[in-house]
Chains A and B, each alone.
Chain A
């Protein structure tokens, strides 16, 4: 699976990169919204694992852009915030799943995401 992981917390993208890579996936990472958009417009991915709150563009802005561009891929959101917005986003058909940070077990997360894809 070709995955794009976006999070402004470098330690997270780095760890997730290694966790997904270990299970045989191809991982690309980005640490802000705008670079994720350039990556999405340049290449195609099977799955987007994206953080909600980021300094430049938020996760849902990136998602909205991707939908607007008819980019076909599964979308999984992660967030450390409890917000009504999350419920709205997770209810939208475009988002396959929302994961709450911190994850107690990163490999369990990998497995769940594999199941979605």
Chain B
């Protein structure tokens, strides 16, 4: 199409980007005038480094026309309309000297389509050369030009107009109406086509449209129509033979529509008119020719876009129906596109995903995930494990997308393995617990023997010193006996992890008081606040389990507190349960620590001081008592632990 169409004053939204040797554009720039204000780039890379402008027409000079260049622009600037400038220097075809033709191209067009486009452009340029007054003519029809351009330009980036045969026909008719054609013959080979055509024509009143079935072409001897539009090459030839008239210009566009009910339907459009048509002068016919070639290009483009669009929609529907996250990643780890499940997994709208780094979106990382191989190299189909949001775990499979001429992309398939992960963790945990259990059994038996000796000896000594009850020795011996007996109790709890069936019962109040008595030495420098509901003296609990729970928690609390320690113990009676609330003002714990607190052998105490089993035992005993435990802690300010037990559990 000719250059001055593009810079029509009414098309103000266009920004021109010219790519290639600037000398190639001299003529074009001169013709465009200052208003167009094009930006020039030496090569495609330079263009791609510049900021994207939404309504952009990128014109490549001839030497830059490569499929790769067009693809790069299409991929990186999806909103740009790409055109190529072709130098026409054939004296034979173009007696008026060197000229340029511009045609819009699309990466999605087949090679053949680009070739056809270029041929069309050349032919358009040829016409233009022949018509001295065409430029003036085009200017006087700027509305129509504009409309035509819009059809093309809009289709370039919206793929919605004209959306189907119906709209295309309508657009054609409107255009003809604008350029003054008032009689049209539409030929369709199918009844559906006729109905569609008829429907399309209803809106365009001022054009006198006759619709014919292609089967009756032979009956069209008396052609009075100015313009005939038929939908196959065959029909065009037939029509030509019938009328036996010279065709000024005829063009057939073929495209494949998406399969309809399994049958691929090949549509051809022929735009044809006769040079000696009544009521038209030569210039008008030439103009129409140009218009049709433009619209033809537009139609072809639309058809292709339509095809791609519906195919793309099929794909996106398919993608979105998959409930696991999927994404296409380029070699810079940027998301090219993703499905709805992915958008849900990362908590961002689907339109906000392209261009973002996969690792930052999915795993909130600053660099690629551990074990993720470079996008261009990885051929492994072994999944890698990544963390998602909210502690979710995923396996990611990465498959290369095999396209010969595109930059390397990969499709990532994510599978949520949080539940499996949880189960595995639980299994490992329970195996670990089993191992601990075995170890404890062995160890505690070994300890029980010397303990038996200690207890028995101390009891014998106490018996021997009965006369000296008031002496310090006697009290010391009592202390030894108590400690040894408590050790027995602790081992009992460790053993079996508290087979508390033999546990005796005591009241909640008694349980708490006895533990405080036990813990006197560790609570020596700590301010203790005690508040126990009176009703709790009637509620009974398993004595040693309850004592053990409180003892372990209080030991931890006293270890966490330094000077000015304050420990609150509240026991509250509820309807069907009771709550023990223990709150210290110790050093507190981080979130990570709280998560680890129930893990066996996790300890914050100095090496050799803690077993890392205290809270494990607490949790086990609480579970056995059908209770629950809640921990709240802030690093630096203290920890509060709330225990809740049902009253039904009575020893």
How many Å lie between the Cα of A14 and that of B454 in the bound state? 10
Scan residues 154-176 of chain B and give those whose CB is less than 8 A from a CB of chain A: none
How many Å lie between the Cα of A9 and that of B446 in the bound state? 10
Given A12-B456, A15-B456, check contact A107 B463 (CB 8 Å).
Answer: yes
Chain A to chain B: the 6 pairs with minimum beta-carbon distance, closest first: A11-B453, A15-B456, A102-B452, A80-B448, A15-B457, A106-B456
B457 touches A14 (CB 8 A): yes
Contacts of A106 in B (CB 8 A): 455-456, 459-460
Nearest CB in chain B: distance from A8 CB, A: 8
Contacts of A16 in B (CB 8 A): 456
What are 18 A-B contacts with C-beta separation under 8 Å? A9-B452, A10-B453, A12-B449, A12-B452, A12-B453, A15-B453, A18-B464, A19-B456, A19-B459, A22-B463, A22-B464, A80-B449, A102-B452, A102-B456, A102-B484, A104-B485, A104-B488, A106-B456
When each residue 459-488 of chain B gets 1 if its CB lies under 8 Å from chain A and 0 otherwise, what string results?
A: 110011000000000000000000011001
A102 touches B455 (CB 8 A): yes
Nearest CB in chain A: distance from B87 CB, A: 99
Q: Is B445 located at the chain interface by the 8 A CB criterion? A: yes
The chain B residue with its CB closest to the CB of A9 is B449
When each residue 75-91 of chain A gets 1 if its CB lies under 8 Å from chain B and 0 otherwise, what string results?
A: 00000110000000000
How many Å lie between the Cα of A10 and that of B452 in the bound state? 11
A101 touches B449 (CB 8 A): yes
Q: Is A65 located at the chain interface by the 8 A CB criterion? A: no
Q: List 8 additional contacts besides A12-B456, A15-B457, A22-B464; criterion CB under 8 Å.
A: A9-B450, A9-B452, A12-B452, A14-B457, A15-B453, A19-B463, A22-B463, A102-B455
Q: Is A105 located at the chain interface by the 8 A CB criterion? A: yes
B455 touches A9 (CB 8 A): no
B445 touches A9 (CB 8 A): no
Nearest CB in chain A: distance from B525 CB, A: 32
The chain A residue with its CB closest to the CB of B453 is A11
Most chain A C-beta atoms within 10 Å of own C-beta, residue among B451, B456, B463: B456
Contacts of A80 in B (CB 8 A): 445, 448-449, 452
Contacts of A107 in B (CB 8 A): 459, 463
A14 touches B453 (CB 8 A): yes
How many Å lie between the Cα of A105 and that of B454 in the bound state? 11
Q: Is the interface of A mostly helix, strand, loop or mixed?
A: helix
The chain A residue with its CB closest to the CB of B485 is A104
Given A11-B454, A14-B453, check contact A19 B488 (CB 8 Å).
Answer: no
Contacts of A81 in B (CB 8 A): 445
Interface residue count on the B side (C-beta < 8 Å): 18
How many Å lie between the Cα of A104 and that of B445 in the bound state? 15
Contacts of B450 in A (CB 8 A): 9, 11
The chain B residue with its CB closest to the CB of A16 is B456
Show the binding face of A for B, using Cβ within 8 Å.
8-12, 14-16, 18-19, 22, 80-81, 101-107
Nearest CB in chain A: distance from B594 CB, A: 35
Contacts of A103 in B (CB 8 A): 452, 455-456
Given A10-B453, A12-B453, A14-B453, check contact A102 B460 (CB 8 Å).
Answer: no
Scan residues 421-449 of chain B and give those whose CB is less than 8 A from a CB of chain A: 445, 448-449
How many Å lie between the Cα of A11 and that of B456 in the bound state? 8
Contacts of B454 in A (CB 8 A): 11
B463 touches A102 (CB 8 A): no
How many Å lie between the Cα of A73 and that of B567 in the bound state? 58
The chain B residue with its CB closest to the CB of A105 is B459
Nearest CB in chain A: distance from B111 CB, A: 84
How many Å lie between the Cα of A11 and that of B449 in the bound state? 9
Nearest CB in chain A: distance from B455 CB, A: 5
How many Å lie between the Cα of A21 and that of B451 in the bound state? 21
How many Å lie between the Cα of A75 and that of B463 in the bound state? 26
Contacts of A104 in B (CB 8 A): 455, 485, 488
Contacts of A19 in B (CB 8 A): 456, 459-460, 463
Contacts of A11 in B (CB 8 A): 450, 452-454, 456-457
B448 touches A101 (CB 8 A): yes
Residue of B451, B452, B455, B460 near A18 (CB, 8 A) is: B460
Contacts of B455 in A (CB 8 A): 102-104, 106
Contacts of B488 in A (CB 8 A): 102, 104
When each residue 68-98 of chain B gets 1 if its CB lies under 8 Å from chain A and 0 otherwise, what string results?
A: 0000000000000000000000000000000
How many Å lie between the Cα of A6 and that of B450 in the bound state? 15
How many Å lie between the Cα of A102 and that of B445 in the bound state? 9
The chain B residue with its CB closest to the CB of A53 is B445
Most chain B C-beta atoms within 10 Å of own C-beta, residue among A19, A81, A104: A104
Contacts of A102 in B (CB 8 A): 448, 451-452, 455-456, 484, 488
Given A9-B453, A102-B455, A103-B455, check contact A22 B448 (CB 8 Å).
Answer: no
How many Å lie between the Cα of A11 and that of B464 in the bound state? 17
How many Å lie between the Cα of A104 and that of B488 in the bound state? 8
How many Å lie between the Cα of A58 and that of B450 in the bound state? 18
Given A9-B452, A11-B450, A80-B452, check contact A22 B460 (CB 8 Å).
Answer: yes
How many Å lie between the Cα of A14 and that of B460 in the bound state? 10
Nearest CB in chain A: distance from B526 CB, A: 30
Nearest CB in chain A: distance from B91 CB, A: 110
A101 touches B452 (CB 8 A): yes
How many Å lie between the Cα of A60 and that of B86 in the bound state? 107
How many Å lie between the Cα of A21 and that of B284 in the bound state? 137
How many Å lie between the Cα of A107 and that of B448 in the bound state? 18
